[in-house]
Every structure is written in C-alpha cells, then in structure tokens.
Amino acid sequence: MKEVLNSSVFFSVMLTIIGYELGISLKKKFHYAIFNPLLVDIIFVILVLVIFDVDYENYNAGAKNLTYLLTPATVCLAIPLYQQFDLLKHNLKAIFAGIVSGVFTSLGSVFILAYLFGLSHEEYVTLLPKSITTAIGMGVSEQLGGIVTITVAAIIITGVFGNMAAEWILNFFHIKDPVAKGIAIGTAAHAVGTAKALEMGEIEGAMSSLSITVAGLLTVIGASIFANIL
C-alpha cells in the first residue's frame, strides 16, 4: 500500500481534490469559518501523508501539476478585472488610497510588532513581505537578507487566514462596499484571499486581483525603505 501511495501518478491530485470537497461539505454542514475548504484540505492532506508515511517529495511529484497551473490561473485574474474596468476607472482615487494605506499599514504594523517582540533584524525583514503574493515576497525577503522559508510560511498562513476570516472581519468592521471588500482582501491576503473574493462576487474578485498586482509592486519599494529602520 505504502509503495503504491508513494509512486502513484494520480494519488496526490486525487487526494487534494477529495480534501477540498470534504472541506466544502463540512462548511455546508457546520457554517463555521474554521471549516474553510482550503484549510481543511491542507490539514487533511498533511494527516494522510503522516498516517500513511508518504514523503512530501512523493506527494509533490504529483501535486506539482497543480502548482504548474498557478501561473495560467493567475493570468486569468485579468478577466474579471477587464470586465470591471469601468468600475476601476470610476473609483481610481479610492482604490489607490486604499491599497497605498494598506501596504504602509502592513509594513508599519510588522515594524511595531517586531519592535515590541524584540525580533532581530533578520526576523523583521523576513516578515515584512508577508501580505503579498509568494513569488514577489520570496524575492523581497531574499534581497533584504531574510529567512525565505519562514517568509513563505508567513505568506501562506496570511493567505489561508485571510481566506478563512475575510467574511467575518469585513462584516464586523462594517465594510460593505464590494469595491472596498475586494481591495481589502487582495491587499491583506494576496492571491489566496482573492480566491475567496471571487466567491463573493465578480466585483470583489476583480478588485482583489488588482490589489495583488499593485500591493505587490508597492511592497517591493516600501519594504526596502522599512528594512533600514530596525
């Protein structure tokens, strides 16, 4: 059995899809944010790998086919953005004010917490790019001398948490405008959050997609400035 699981071509992708469907049915039954399908799926796959003693490398040999689709899927985020382009033009000022304030809040709050926790310079720059998409974040962390592995972990946890808690946070703080919701999710929780924004609606999805790009680029500049102050 172990040998089959370690060498099967289809096992990884099959397992990943089953885990996601399991998450969807749990969410339907219990309605708690913690039963977020993405989070359930990650935990489910980790449990199966640990229980059946399957190496991550062997899982990833099949699962990398999913990762392979990530760039084409991200490219497709331009389509809702294209369809909502008038809305973007119409709210240009608000959108840019929102993203710029979000990016500086992200960098500023990491700075304050790093200072309070007495984190080292290395740990501080590791966390600076935590709100942006993995590929840009890794580059930023590397350039500033951070620990890239932890940056990736921080980015993934941010995304999954943003995906899971977005509805609750936005409701609690009375953020009701669909444009504002999308911008908030994309700026705080990059592409993983955007997957949630797309479920909320086309406007939310389009605005969240836009934020990934703009917030990512602004963070590249902002992080190099913030890196010098702690």
Residues 152-211 that bind other proteins (CB under 8 A): 152-154, 156-163, 165-166, 169-170, 173, 175-177, 179-181, 183-185, 187-189, 191-192, 194-195, 198, 205, 209, 211
Shortest distance in whole angstroms from residue 135 CB to other proteins: 3
- Tell me which residue of 127, 102, 99, 100 sits closest to 115, measured CA to CA: 127
Shortest distance in whole angstroms from residue 56 CB to other proteins: 5
Shortest distance in whole angstroms from residue 76 CB to other proteins: 4
Q: Which two tokens stand for residue 80?
A: 């809702």
- Reduced DSSP (H G I as helix, E B as strand, rest coil) percent helix, strand, coil of the chain, to 5: 85, 0, 15
Spatial separation of the C-alpha atoms in residues 147 and 137, rounded to whole Å? 11
Of 147, 200, 201, 230, the one binding other proteins (CB under 8 A) is 147
State the binding string over 49-88 for other proteins (x if CB under 8 A, else -). x------x--xx--xx-xx-xxxxxxxxxxxxxxx-x---
Of 11, 102, 203, 227, the one binding other proteins (CB under 8 A) is 102
Spatial separation of the C-alpha atoms in residues 204 and 106, rounded to whole Å? 21
Residue 148, judged by CB atoms within 10 A of its CB (0-12, 13-18, 19+), counts as middle
Question: From residue 132, how far is each of 109, 139, 140, 214, 216 by CA, in Å?
Answer: 15, 11, 10, 10, 5
User: DSSP class of residue 31?
Assistant: -
Give the binding range for other proteins (CB under 8 A) out of 3-11, 14-22, 27-35: 14-22
Q: Does 99 bind other proteins (CB under 8 A)?
A: yes
Q: Does 33 bind other proteins (CB under 8 A)?
A: no
Of 37, 84, 204, 222, the one binding other proteins (CB under 8 A) is 37
Tell me whether residue 136 or residue 227 sits nearer to other proteins (CB atom). Answer: 136
CB 129 within 8 A of CB 141: yes
Query: What is the dihedral sign for C-alpha 128, 134, 138, 139?
Result: negative
Q: Does 227 bind other proteins (CB under 8 A)?
A: no
Of 29, 89, 93, 228, the one binding other proteins (CB under 8 A) is 93
Of 11, 35, 133, 203, the one binding other proteins (CB under 8 A) is 133
Q: Does 97 bind other proteins (CB under 8 A)?
A: yes
Give the binding range for other proteins (CB under 8 A) out of 1-9, 26-34, 100-108: 100-108
Amino acid of residue 87: L
